[in-house]
Amino acid sequence: MSCGNGPVICLMGPTASGKTALALELADALPVDLISVDSALVYRGMDIGTAKPDAAMLARYPHQLVDILEPTVAYSAAEFVSDARAAIRASHAAGRIPLLVGGTMLYFKALLEGMATMPSANPEVRAALQAQAAEQGWDALHAQLQAIDPQSAARIHPNDPQRLLRALEVWQVSGKTMSEHRAEQAQAGAAWPYPTVQLAIAPQDRAVLHQRIAQRFAQMLEQGFVDEVIALRARGDLLPSMPSMRAVGYRQAWDYLDGALDYAGFREKGIIATRQLAKRQFTWLRSWSELTWLDSLGQNNLTHALKCLEKAQTLA
């Protein structure tokens, strides 16, 4: 199969849905380079709780963007986009097909649609706007937004103070309206240069996914997940507030080791948190417009994925 037109495969889905298994099938069938799209797999020493492929599997099926950082370091969506684009270019240069696989939907969105350029929250500006609203009323602030950004004013009701404050804050901090920032983001997304196959895999029955999540968490515990977190705590340079330690499972294990939870409570909260993660992932995926859904229990997922790739190459 020719990859001269530079296709990209994106394989996404909720946790425990079977993404890795299908990715390995694709790796056996195609000249692909596996690129991880996972905000926790980037960290060294976080293996069991992230369901990271073991050393033997990584040796047979190398994954890029795995084990690239110490867990003391924060890793942003912007950094992921830069790293992923470099990996995609290198894969194409070698005549291969980049296969991005993972469940961090923000990373996929940033990569495919462009990074939002809006500034971070500014407490001082926000406080001044709230004081203005208290003195003049929300209608006055909405009229102000109407004058500078009619498009956002049409979307935001005067009785929606949170969004109204944010729109005015963006204008005051950056000198650009929220509509201008959105247009820049859309333009960046339109610049995505590759014919892309977007696949999502999940069980059609949500109860099946919940069962898989519980089984996976039990397996992690059997494999020594608690000991892994003990070792991470023993480093002395990690805090529960760090992004790495806020990962699902790790924060609950940290609370257990602090004595805030008993073992049964830790296990229950870990499973619940993983289910909540899967729910958030589904919410992201429902907003995707060009997804081909595959059933985790389906028998022909590899065939379907290959057909999607052939179609994308034909249309390129």
CATH number of the domain where residue 152 is located: 1.10.20.140
Tens of pLDDT along the chain (316 residues) come to 434 458 999 999 999 999 999 999 999 999 999 999 999 999 999 999 999 999 999 999 999 999 999 999 999 998 999 999 999 999 999 999 999 999 999 999 999 988 767 788 899 999 999 999 999 999 999 999 999 999 999 999 888 888 999 999 999 999 999 888 878 766 655 578 899 999 999 999 999 999 999 999 999 999 999 999 999 999 999 999 999 999 999 999 999 999 999 999 999 999 999 999 999 999 999 988 889 999 999 989 999 999 999 887 775 5
Answer yes or no: do 146 and 233 share one domain: no
Number of domains in the chain: 2
Please report, for the domain that includes residue 55, its CATH number. 3.40.50.300
The burial of 156, by beta-carbon neighbours within 10 Å (0-12 exposed, 13-18 middle, 19 or more buried), is given as: buried
Amino acid at 85: R
Whether residue 35 is found in the same domain as residue 167:
no
Q: What order do you get walking across the sheet with 97-102 strand by strand?
A: 63-64, 32-37, 97-102, 8-12, 196-202, 292-295
* Residue 9 to residue 101: CA distance in whole angstroms: 8
For 161-218, how does the pLDDT look when each residue is reduced to its tens digit (9 = 90+)?
A: 889 999 999 999 999 998 888 787 666 555 788 999 999 999 999 999 999 999 999 9
> Domain ends where: 188, 218, 244?
188
**Alpha carbon distance 170, 118 (integer Å):** 7
pLDDT in tens, 133-166: 999 999 999 999 999 999 999 999 888 888 999 9
Cβ–Cβ < 8 Å for 266, 255: yes
Examine the domain organization and report whether 201 and 300 are in the same domain.
Answer: yes
Same domain? 34 vs 52: yes
Q: Does residue 131 share a domain with residue 104? A: no
Kindly state whether residue 67 falls inside one of the protein's structural domains.
Answer: yes
CA 219 to CA 274: how far, in whole Å? 14
Best CA proximity match to 305, nearest among 291, 289, 315, 316: 291
Closest CA to 216 of 64, 103, 304, 98: 103
> What is the C-alpha separation between 162 and 130, in angstroms, rounded?
10
- What pLDDT, on the 0 to 100 scale, is given for residue 5? 54
Distance of CA 72 to the CA centre of its chain: 19
Q: Which residues contact 79 (CB under 8 A, 6 or more apart)?
A: none
CB atoms within 10 A of CB 177: 20
pLDDT of residue 315: 59
Q: Which domain holds residue 69?
A: 8-114+192-315
Q: Which of 168, 188, 208 is the last residue of a domain?
A: 188
Both tokens of 77, joined, read 């969506």
The number of helices, as runs of H, and strands, as runs of E, in the chain is 14, 6
Determine the pLDDT at residue 1.
40
Residues 217 and 309 in one domain: yes
Tell me the C-alpha distance between 271 and 263, whole Å. Answer: 12
AA identity, residue 237: D
